[in-house]
Amino acid sequence: MDQFAQGNISRRSFVKRGAVLGLSTTFIGAFLAACGSDSKKSSGSTAASTGGTTAPGATTAPGATTAPADTTAATAPAAGAIKQGGTMRLASQKPGSPLDPVAMDNLGTYTVVTQSFEYLCGKGDNATLAPALAESWSPNADGSEWTFVLRQGVKWHDGSAFTSADVVATMDRLAGSNLKAYLVEGATTAADDFTVTMKLNTPDGQFPYQVSLYNPQTLITPVSFVLGTTLDKVPTGTGPFKLDKYDVATGATFVANVDWWGGKPFLDKVEFIFSDDIATQISGLQGDAADALVQFSVVGGDALLADPNVIVEGTRGAAHRQIWMNTREGNFADVRVRQAVALGIDRQALIDTVLRGKGDIGNDHPIAPVYEFFDAAQPQRERDIEKAKALLKEAGKEGLSITMHVPKLQEIPQLAELIQTQLKDIGMNIELNVESTDTFYDEWCKTYDPICDGGQEFGIVDYGNRGVPDVYLVKAYATGEWNSAHYVSKPFNAAVSEYQASLDLAGRKTAISKVQKIANEDVPYVIPYFYNTLYAHSKKVGGIVASGLGHFEMGKAGFLA
Amino acid sequence: MQRLASAIVTLWLLATIVFLIVNVLPGDVGRKILGPFAPKEDVAAFNHRLGTDRTVIAQYLTSIRRVFTLDFGDSYQSGQKVTDIILPALFRSGKLALLAFVLTIPISIAAGIFAARRKDKFADRVVVNVGLASSSIPEFVTAAVLLSVFCVNWKLGEVFANPPAGTSVIGQFRYLLTPAMAMVIAYFGYIARMTRAGVIGGLQSDYARTATMKGLSKGTVMRSHILRNALAPTITVISVQVGYLFGGIIGVEKVFNYAGLGSTMLTAVGAKDIPVLQGAVLLVGIIYMMSTLLADLLIAYLNPRVRLEKTR
């Protein structure tokens, strides 16, 4: 799960385990909420992202689908406000897979492993990429080759030097798995100890996103790394913390890497306390048994949102809920019915109610405002009940009764109930079929593969955060693999291709503007909002950088002076 | 010998029930671990690697073999050996259960005797009603209240019960005290009432009257005559609770984020981690059987009639 459990704990795990525990979790959450007092929240910085990749298959790993968000947020203490020393305790979901930097597949594992291992490209402000192990990168004229200049003076935790040989070896290993759509073995070559060139299978103007934290399994491992090796068996890395102790049942302890290229970390130690129960994690933060909580969602997180002693940070991103309507046959085959649904929804009310305001408004396309090529000039679709009624009447669907299928995942059931209420105003009668995530995902996807819609024409599905929107555009809209709406549009596909072929921001902006317009008009999916990924910490700490993708960068974190 | 055969049958039944239950749970193991959007080829390869794509019969035979060779294989989720997961979890649960027992048994037996000697008086009513109320509240509710009040709000106890590595025995006591108290509250009433009933029966018995008339002191009559008989049902109750304490305190372990056997099982159910679940359930089953055996021996020791009956 989504994590949060669900979106992310892997949100699914969270939801499932919460369900298993049942009353207990509910009770705790309610009880703690009752014990809390006033509300207070804080800001979070934002980041957006750009980009587009060519091959959908090579984007994010499976686990990342469960929760992730998309932008970096950092607690922002004043310069010099952090003092040296101390152990910061992080309440985090339990790693759901071995600490294998290549095969890891869930947020709990990402959080732990990325304390030691690092990417070529890190996360910058406003969703741009920032230098990490690579100091700079540039494409050739057509984007078919990318050259990365590596940082000098970086050491592995055993004291040996990081060089281009490590990058070449890493890329060759990934060429057979995660990056196989982009690279073949031998396509990465070293010009010298600190310059590598990657020759891509097909040109890609945004390839660096594939070797950044947006593609979590592309951590740089040493040339001697053997596939299947886990961090706890062979502790190494170039990152700010070295693994000291690890017990998947209880937690992990990292000690500062004083030779880190980013400078000696403020903290002496980082201690992870694992728990798959978000209510327990919240209790830990409120009870001073933890200094920060890596990720949580609004649902189940009320106690934190209402706690004046805790700072809640939101990471904006592109994670969203998709209300699908079958465009090929049935009640929604007529675009006027789909537009009526879109017009019947009060998006801001949904955000305020189910997200407690922690989200960006959606406009029925998957391009989130955090993406730098987002076209903000496009008119926002507003609620218009009369127009919606008129469209339904024109389509001969007045008083339409229909079943909406939704998973019992985070706020989705509440979202469905609100939509049910709102659409009553345009004369639609919606019956809700809320199912467990197991039934919703496993059975539907298994039975109806490759279209994961369970053969239903109307429902809600969740999409995690991505650094670039290609997965949404290609898998959900274009190729049909997750195209629950059975949407087919040549102009849309052409606009997506144009976007993916663009080597510069201006080209991407032009193409994405078309994508937004077509998706908004055709409305195969209503996308009411993009939700923030939340994390929290005590008022004593600062400097944490959260990606919303499970990464919790602690290199510059510490206790406030 | 008869007991051993019966134990083997019980283990087989347990293993079979666990297997059936796990296979009734919805969801595909590979899909569950890799996530809803993992490519189906990856899921298929993952299932093949785990052997969860084999026939149910083949999987069942493997699981039964594992039970009788005590080799449960590796966890689907973490890849660790199952024994490396469940034995430390058992040890942790054991510590918590031991503390809970050390606190519960003397308190509740003393309270039961105290109440019995004041039968129908105010003090007796207090013990009976408090006991009834405390045992009526599920442990996880008590645990949540204690956590919120004592640990979160008043910061008198530890929110997370897992002590950091290297914590001293005394230090561990601090971490485990609040969850143990949740269990004490839950079991106090039951054990106290059982003791009270037994002692009342003993106090009214002919043998107690005879002993008193012989001139024995009240204390001697209580220790040597009444308690030996009165505690038999209490010991039976306690022995059943031992097994329960190891596997049934899921709620308390979950609330305090304690990595014991109960929460290990809960996590395994959620992840459909069959090897871990099977190993943990069987471990609990073995503990149940052993605690019942121990109870039988204790009762036989305390009650000559039982001993003699067995001898005959």
Q: Would you say residue A29 has pLDDT above 50?
A: no
Taking CA–CA distances from B90, the nearest residue in chain A reads A249
Number of domains composing chain B = 2
Say whether both B270 and B199 belong to one domain: yes
Is A205 at the interface with chain B, CB within 8 A? no
CB of A44 closer than 8 Å to CB of A313 = yes
Please tell me what DSSP assigns to residue A241.
E
406-465 of A, contacting B, C-beta below 8 A: 436-439, 441-443, 445-446, 449-450, 452
Closest to A82 (Cα-Cα) out of A542, A539, A537, A538 = A542
State whether A249 and B259 contact (CB < 8 Å): yes
Q: Where are the alpha helices (DSSP H) in B137-168?
A: 139-146
What is the pLDDT, as a whole number, of residue B308?
A: 60
Average pLDDT over residues B294-312: 69
Which residue among B40, B164, B257 places its CB closest to the CB of A275?
B257
What is the pLDDT, as a whole number, of residue A449?
A: 60
State whether A13 and B270 contact (CB < 8 Å): yes
- Residue B109 is part of which domain span? 82-311
What would you report as the CA-atom Rg of chain A, rounded to the nearest whole angstrom? Answer: 23
What is the pLDDT, as a whole number, of residue B311?
A: 52
- In angstroms, rounded to a whole number, what is the distance separating the alpha carbons of residues A410 and A1? 10
| Higher-pLDDT residue of B43, B175 | B175
Residue B74 in domain: no
Q: Give the number of A-B residue pairs with CB atoms closer than 8 Å.
A: 159
A65 vs B contacts (CB less than 8 Å): 35-38
Is A286 at the interface with chain B, CB within 8 A? yes
Residue B29 in domain: yes
Say whether both B124 and B21 belong to one domain: no
Among B69, B99, B114, the domain-final residue is B69
State whether B78 and A95 contact (CB < 8 Å): yes
Say whether both B97 and B230 belong to one domain: yes
What is the pLDDT, as a whole number, of residue B248?
A: 57
Q: The tokens of A213 are what?
A: 């934290």
Report pLDDT digits (tens) over A370-420: 898 999 999 999 999 999 999 999 999 999 999 999 988 889 999 999 999
In the beta sheet, which residues pair with residue A274?
A92
Mutation target among A310, A442, A460, A484 for the B interface, most CBs of B within 10 A: A442
**Minimal C-alpha gap between A470 and chain B (Å):** 15
Return the percentage of chain A with pLDDT > 70, whole number: 83
- In angstroms, rounded to a whole number, what is the distance separating the alpha carbons of residues A524 and B2? 69
Which residue among A66, A287, A482 places its CB closest to the CB of B35?
A66
Say whether both B65 and B88 belong to one domain: no
State whether B36 and A276 contact (CB < 8 Å): no
Say whether both B219 and B178 belong to one domain: yes
State whether B26 and A287 contact (CB < 8 Å): no
The rounded mean pLDDT for chain A is 84
B251 vs A contacts (CB less than 8 Å): 21, 24
Say whether both B109 and B225 belong to one domain: yes
Residue B71: CB partners within 8 Å, gap ≥ 6?
none
Residue B99 in domain: yes
State whether B31 and A442 contact (CB < 8 Å): yes
Report pLDDT digits (tens) over A426-483: 999 999 999 887 677 766 666 666 677 777 899 999 888 888 898 899 888 987 678 8
- In angstroms, rounded to a whole number, what is the distance separating the alpha carbons of residues A139 and A214? 19
Residue B155 in domain: yes
471-490 of A, contacting B, C-beta below 8 A: 482
Report pLDDT digits (tens) over A244-258: 999 988 999 999 999
Say whether both B296 and B260 belong to one domain: yes
For residue B163, what is the enclosing H or E element? Answer: none
Among B47, B69, B91, the domain-final residue is B69
Across A22-36, A494-508, B130-144, least confident range: A22-36
Which residue among A12, A274, A283 places its CB closest to the CB of B152?
A283
Strands A533-538 and A310-315: antiparallel
- In angstroms, rounded to a whole number, what is the distance separating the alpha carbons of residues A342 and A336? 10
Please tell me what DSSP assigns to residue A38.
-
A176 vs B contacts (CB less than 8 Å): none
Taking CA–CA distances from A438, the nearest residue in chain B reads B27
Strands A533-538 and A359-361: unpaired
Among B45, B69, B93, the domain-final residue is B69
State whether B26 and A436 contact (CB < 8 Å): yes
Please tell me what DSSP assigns to residue A138.
E
B35 vs A contacts (CB less than 8 Å): 1, 10, 12, 62-66, 105-106
Q: The tokens of A269 are what?
A: 């130690």
Say whether both B6 and B137 belong to one domain: no
Say whether both B116 and B228 belong to one domain: yes
Say whether both B114 and B24 belong to one domain: no
Q: Would you say residue A34 has pLDDT above 50?
A: no
Residue B37 in domain: yes
| Higher-pLDDT residue of A163, B289 | A163
What is the pLDDT, as a whole number, of residue A557?
A: 96
First to last CA, chain B: 18
A309 vs B contacts (CB less than 8 Å): none
Length of chain A equals 561
Average pLDDT over residues A134-159: 95
CATH of the domain at B244: 1.10.3720.10
Residue B76 in domain: no
- Using pLDDT thresholds of 50, 70 and 90, give the confidence band for residue A61: very low
Residue B114 in domain: yes
State whether B144 and A96 contact (CB < 8 Å): no
Say whether both B134 and B113 belong to one domain: yes
State whether A273 and B160 contact (CB < 8 Å): yes
What is the pLDDT, as a whole number, of residue B39?
A: 62
Say whether both B13 and B99 belong to one domain: no
Q: What are phi and psi of B293, to 5 degrees?
A: -60, -45
Q: Where are the alpha helices (DSSP H) in chain B?
A: 2-24, 29-34, 40-50, 56-69, 82-117, 122-136, 139-146, 169-203, 206-213, 218-220, 227-247, 250-255, 261-271, 274-302, 304-311
Place of tokens 């903000």: A376
Which residue among A64, A250, A482 places its CB closest to the CB of B259?
A250
What is the pLDDT, as a whole number, of residue A1?
A: 31
Residue B75 in domain: no
The whole model's pTM is what? 0.79
Mutation target among A4, A15, A28 for the B interface, most CBs of B within 10 A: A28
B165 vs A contacts (CB less than 8 Å): 245, 247, 253
Contacts 24+ apart (CB under 8 A), B262-268: B262/B93, B263/B89, B264/A249, B264/B85, B264/B86, B264/B89, B266/A17, B266/A20, B266/A21, B267/A17, B267/A94, B267/A276, B267/B77, B268/B75, B268/B77
| Higher-pLDDT residue of B17, B30 | B17
State whether B257 and A284 contact (CB < 8 Å): yes
- Using pLDDT thresholds of 50, 70 and 90, give the confidence band for residue A106: confident
Taking CA–CA distances from B159, the nearest residue in chain A reads A284
What is the pLDDT, as a whole number, of residue A119?
A: 97
What single-letter amino acid sits at B284?
V
Mutation target among A35, A88, A244, A248 for the B interface, most CBs of B within 10 A: A248
